[in-house]
Structures are given as C-alpha cells and as structure tokens.
Amino acid sequence: MAIFRTKKAEETGEARLPRHIAIILDGNGRWAKKRGLPRTAGHAAGAETFRRIATYCKDIGIEYLTV
C-alpha cells in the first residue's frame, strides 16, 4: 500500500522528490516598497533567494526548475 511505502521512505530518508518544480517570482517590488527600498533592491533580494533555491534543488536532485 502506498501509505506504507511513504512511511518507509520517510523513515529511511528516501522520500520521493518531484522531477520538476515551477516557481512564480512575485512580490519582490512590494517587499522592497514596504521596507522603504527601491524596487531594484527587491529584485536583487529575490534574485539571491532564487540562487539559493536553485542550488538547493540541484543538490537534492531536482531535474527541472521552471521560473
């Protein structure tokens, strides 16, 4: 049964990962505006966050990342 396979995967650290993840980048300009920063600062912060996410996805074996 699937529930037992999932539980076993969680216990052994072999949980299934998706091959493809899609990310919608939204709100970086609003984030900056709330902090009194220029929109470009929000975009720079969003770009850095995306770099960290992309690196993590690569490290754990996600094959495709759509932005």
Classify 7 as helix, strand or coil. helix
DSSP line for 23-39: -----HHHHHHHTT--H
pLDDT at 14: 67
Asked whether the predicted pLDDT for residue 1 surpasses 50, the reply is: no
pLDDT tops 90 at residue 5 = no
45 burial (CB, 10 Å; 0-12 / 13-18 / 19+) is middle
Domain ranges of the chain: 17-66
Report the sign of the C-alpha dihedral through residues 28, 33, 39, 41, in that order.
Answer: negative
pLDDT at 54: 96
pLDDT tens, residue by residue, 13-59: 667 899 999 999 999 999 999 999 999 999 999 999 999 999 999 99
Q: Say what the pLDDT of residue 53 is.
A: 96
Global pTM value = 0.70
